[in-house]
Amino acid sequence: MGRASVLLQRWIGPSLSSAAALSCAASKGSHFTPHPRDVRLFSSRDSMAEEAKKLAGYAAVDNHVQNNHVVGVGSGSTIVFAVDRLAERVRQEKLNIVCVPTSFQARQLILQHGLTLSDLDRHPELDVAIDGADEVDEALTLIKGGGGCLTQEKIVAGCAKHFIVIADFRKDSSVLGQQWRKGVPIEVIPMAYVPVSRTIAKRFGGEVVLRMAVSKAGPVVTDNSNFILDWKFQHAQNWTVVNTAIKMIPGVVETGLFVGMAERVYFGMEDGTVRIRDTPIN
């Protein structure tokens, strides 16, 4: 079906103008006090993003989850709405659904909603996996791992017959790096983070930084007891080649590059519609 849209995205000029004014003032070193109207616009855009996440999550669950399905449950803020809808459908339609989590957060969501929790030992083949993304390009290549769950997310997605992505309008890019500026997350064995960082920077350029925790001293530690590197690349790459090359570096556990995995992406849009993007047909 290619790139489809229920309706065209609505352009919101004032909020963009306000953001530009803020950026300009900051770059000149001057003090910028937003007009109350601008504060409302920023708040409104955040509210639209939350509603957009809900629209995408609901659409994915309604279109891809059926009775007796085993469902992979992703991680992040958008997946919360998908699980809300999944639990609602289970109650209303008396569905028999089994859920396999990608993280501690996903596991807690499943339990809190009273859904049936399982794992890949008991259900190594999933009917569908639904997850979010930090950024999606035109070819449905994803950057994931902003929350640090990339390895388990990729394992679960790889076990699913269908991998469906949900996101809000801010995650839609023509090329990776256009919207997401924090780089590609890479999970590494702790003792290897320095040599892996040096190797990636030498071979592919850019900057590689160890992700540090916010509310504790020291680095972020994943559910697998590993560290996260964030590779801030300088330009678009052949992501298939780069992903394979980085994974071959000793000490790398997994990358946040999801290449050729997503089948369809649902983008919740600013105007209350849902835009669908399918895998390009070569």
The closest alpha carbon to 130, from 277, 270, 269, 263, belongs to 263
108 conformational bin, left if phi > 0, alpha if psi -120 to 50, beta if neither = alpha
153 flagged as catalytic: yes
For residue 20, how many other CB atoms are within 10 A of its CB?
A: 10
Choice among 153, 187, 254, 270 that is catalytic = 153
Place of tokens 């449905």: 140
Q: Is the dihedral of CA 177, 179, 182, 187 positive or negative?
A: negative
Place of tokens 């929790």: 117
Question: Cα separation of 64 and 3, whole Å?
Answer: 18
Question: Cα separation of 162 and 276, whole Å?
Answer: 15
Catalytic residues: 153
